Amino acid sequence: MENKKLLYISQEIAPYLPDSPLALFGRDLPQKVQEKGFEVRTFMPKYGCINERRNQLHEVIRLSGMNIIIDDSDHPLIIKVATLQPSRMQVYFIDNDDYFQRAGAKELETVSSPGDNDERMMFFARGIIETVKKLRWDPAVIHCTGWISTLVPMYVKRMYHDDPALAKSKIVYSLRSEKFDGTLDARLGEKLRMLQFTDEDLAALGDTPADCTALNKLAIMHSDAVVVSSPDVDPALVDFARSISKPVLEYPGEEDFAEKYAEFYKTLVNGGE
């Protein structure tokens, strides 16, 4: 595996958010894999409850300033970055005043304003990809974790399929037990079709408003491989991945898990060798 650049896209990362299985996974896996000699960068949303001063976030002006169009409206992209100690791993934050509150929010925007989650996901996915392109940093593997990242595989494989920075990237999607209740805005499919995604691209969403299961299936369909990243994942989703011939790494446990992930990445990039 000559290219050792790994891009992690996480819904939550500790210590920027309180410890939870999802946030600890978002911190621990990238750090432990970085210790094995990989070059790692990771992205997460800039939720309003994240204390920028305490966590030493600062805006990266050269990466900010682009407008992302969603449902015919412009939304400015703001990129912030922090360095996670002691690993010195760079963490990038996707920010925007329309989708993420200013300082002082008491809960995540995905909970306090769930009606915007469809557009929040779209903004997050596009913001990450455009930032990676500006960085001129071509990842060998893009590993997505959390339902807010479920659109990323489709964006990479369809909207950016011929982009030199991403054309060779392998996408890994983590199946986890965390989910949201209810469904997303009924116009999600319509908004995505405005970006030239096809009915075939969106087949996993079905004809009804998308729930968490539908989003997981969409991510699986457009990923190169799937990892079972928590012990209580819905077995139907694992069966779905296998039914469409996606390589699956079963739950690797709590010990030496980074080694198992690293080997899985190498096998995927090297074509099974």
Strand partners for 45:
94
How crowded is residue 250: how many other Cβ atoms within 10 Å of its Cβ? 10
Predicted pLDDT of residue 255: 86
pLDDT of residue 143: 98
For residue 266, the model assigns a pLDDT of: 95
List, in sequence order, every beta strand (DSSP E) within the chain: 5-10, 39-45, 58-59, 67-70, 73-76, 78-84, 89-95, 141-145, 170-175, 225-228, 248-249
Give the residue from 123, 82, 93, 134 showing the smallest Cα distance to 10: 93
- Going residue by residue through the chain, which has 273 residues, state the pLDDT in tens, using 9 for 90 and above: 788 999 999 999 999 999 999 999 999 999 999 999 999 999 999 999 999 999 999 999 999 999 999 999 999 999 999 999 888 999 999 999 999 987 677 899 999 999 999 999 999 999 999 999 999 999 999 999 999 999 999 999 999 999 998 989 999 999 999 999 999 999 999 999 999 999 999 999 998 899 999 999 999 999 999 999 999 999 999 999 999 999 999 999 988 899 999 999 999 999 865
**Which of 179, 165, 255, 251 has its CA nearest to residue 216?**
179
Q: 265: buried, middle or exposed (CB in 10 Å: 19+, 13-18, 0-12)? A: buried
Q: Which CATH superfamily is domain 5-269 in?
A: Glycogen Phosphorylase B; (3.40.50.2000)
pLDDT at 182 (0 to 100): 94
